[in-house]
Amino acid sequence: GLALAVRERLELDPESGALFVFASKRGNRLKVLWFDHNGYCLLYKRLHRAIFELPSDGSSAPRIKIDGQQLAKLVAGVAHPRHRTGETSKKA
């Protein structure tokens, strides 16, 4: 599961109190995992007509740190409209 991915792939402690954010390859699904001293909690959000605007630090690293404000915007669904292959834009 996600806790195992945090421990083995990211080499971090999933019970540290930190929040761990995972995005799908398509960019329209987001999972947030955290441990609250009683057990694991999971938030799942799926956007239907957009993709999440994931923050980047410019590197190819599999993880970055974000602050609470960035996380709030991310979970709120501040997103880019989804572009379909072959779709053309109309100019007025």
pLDDT tens digits, 10-48: 999 999 999 999 999 998 999 999 999 899 999 999 998
> Which secondary structure element, helix H or strand E, spans residue 30, and what is its range?
strand 29-35
pLDDT digits (tens, 9 = 90+) for 32-88: 999 998 999 999 999 988 888 888 778 777 778 888 888 898 888 765 555 444 443
What pLDDT is recorded for position 77?
Answer: 75
Whether 33 is covered by a domain: the verdict is yes
**What total of structural domains would you count in the chain?**
1
What per-residue string of b and e applies to 49-78 under the rule 16 or more CB within 10 Å gives b? eebbeeeeeeeeeeeeeeeeeeeeebeeee
Whether 11 is covered by a domain: the verdict is yes
What pLDDT is recorded for position 6?
Answer: 95
Whether 46 is covered by a domain: the verdict is yes
Whether 88 is covered by a domain: the verdict is no
Whether 90 is covered by a domain: the verdict is no
Full residue range of the structural domain in which residue 25 is found: 2-81
pTM of the model: 0.76
